[in-house]
Structure 1
Amino acid sequence: MLEYTFEDMRKMNRDKLGNMVPLELFRTIRLIGLNQGLPMGGKGTTLTIGRKIGENLPVHTVEELLQMFEELRIGIPRVIERNEHKIIVAVDDCFCKGLPTLEDEKMVCDLEGAILEGALTKMMKRRVTVKETKCNVSGHEHCEYEIKL
């Protein structure tokens, strides 16, 4: 069975359309297709997908991971707290920025948290958990993740 790698994903051969797709398409896949189309908001699926993506990123430090987040235009991450047991990361300009605010404190950026979790678990060679604690669609100024090391 053929298994793709992150390096395979960087190979492009689209002469007319290039290497970008509209944010609306990504949002539609995530929020209408997965979140609204699958049981439990697609959480199990997005967590599995995100962890697998994270495991495949070519990063070896937290700094490289956060740099890759911005390079891939996932968002602009910044560490707002860090100690030996946890890291709190805020992500500005996340994919959900600008969407209408939802009333029920909904968090929709679980894929991004799972990407962090997969990369950090692989990097640290031990289980790391990541939980989204703030989200733009709930009215917060940025998305935020609590990473337990």
Structure 2
Amino acid sequence: MCLQQYTFEDMRQMNRTTLGNMVPLELFRTIRLIGMNQGLPLGGKGTTVTIGRKIGESLPVHSVEELLQIFEELKIGIPRIVHSDERRINIAVDDCFCKGLPSLEDERMVCDLEGAIIEGALCRILGRKVSVKEIKCNVTGHEHCEYEVKL
């Protein structure tokens, strides 16, 4: 028996006639920051990174520009490239899911899932390993979330 796997295109199929295709941001935040970040060992980082990479690999994108476009289309945030050279790309994300949350005093960044989505997509697009690290986060007082992509 073969285990069926869903695709990103499967996720776009909706049939919720009363509630529609949206869920509140507070539900997503609760799953991420209370359920996973506070409920799993090591803040759930291993889980969110694994999930994010898999999501990124499944996105129907073929270029960095398409990745940035779908990031905004999915309301993950509004991404823009703030630095690019042959060794790295820095992507700032405005209006990230964490925008407006109270600041954390311990400098812990919470948007590792979004960085892992970028990493998974870019690995597939570029056909090679890249690493992505969150270097700024709204919850630590920065004006936006930012990811450093090492090529």
Matched ranges for 1:1-149 at <5 A:
1-149=3-151
Amino acid at match of 2:145: C
Q: Which stretches in structure 2 are left out of the alignment for 5+ residues?
A: none
Q: Which stretches in structure 1 are left out of the alignment for 5+ residues?
A: none
Query: % of aligned pairs identical?
Result: 77
Alpha-carbon shift at residue 82 of structure 1 (Å): 0.4
* TM-score under structure 1 length normalisation: 0.99
Cα separation, 2, equivalents of 1:43 and 1:102:
17
- Number of equivalences: 149
Amino acid at match of 1:101: S
User: After TM superposition, which residue ranges in structure 1, 4 or more long, deviate above 6 angstroms?
Assistant: none
Alpha-carbon shift at residue 134 of structure 1 (Å): 0.3
Cα separation, 2, equivalents of 1:76 and 1:125:
25
